[in-house]
Structure 1
Amino acid sequence: MSSSKSHVFKEVIPKAGQLYQEDHPSIVLCKPKIMPLKSITLEKMEKMQADSQEAMKKHETEASNSQF
């Protein structure tokens, strides 16, 4: 046997009073959320919107030029 003795601690539960336990929250790492880049449909819609705005500007400039 070794010269150091094994110490066993006995659990003590209070019979009266308040019991206090401190909880230390630990950091929880979550899986990263993968955000999609622009979808093909969104790119098509943006292109259609840009084309329509360009056509409106062209139409307005032609209309203003024809008035003078």
Structure 2
Amino acid sequence: MTEQCRACRAGLEHCHGALIHHPYRRDECTEPDCFVTDVAHALHLDCDAVGCTCDVAVAVSAHRVG
């Protein structure tokens, strides 16, 4: 048994972090030095799953305008 992940062993471009998807902002990775494309992430999360409230703030602002 090895401690490397399959993608590491295969030499594939990938990231061990999670890609966080924001509805109105650019996606961000949990790894600070990440340089791979969005599809190279095995874990994708909606921002509200990590406690982000950016979609709530936009909804409140839109409600105030209307």
Q: Common fold, TM-score beyond 0.5?
A: no
Q: Please give the range of the TM-score, normalised by the shorter of the 2 chains.
A: under 0.3
TM-score (norm 2): 0.28
Which protein has the bigger helix share? Answer: 1
TM-score (norm 1): 0.27
Question: Which of the pair has more CA radius of gyration?
Answer: 1
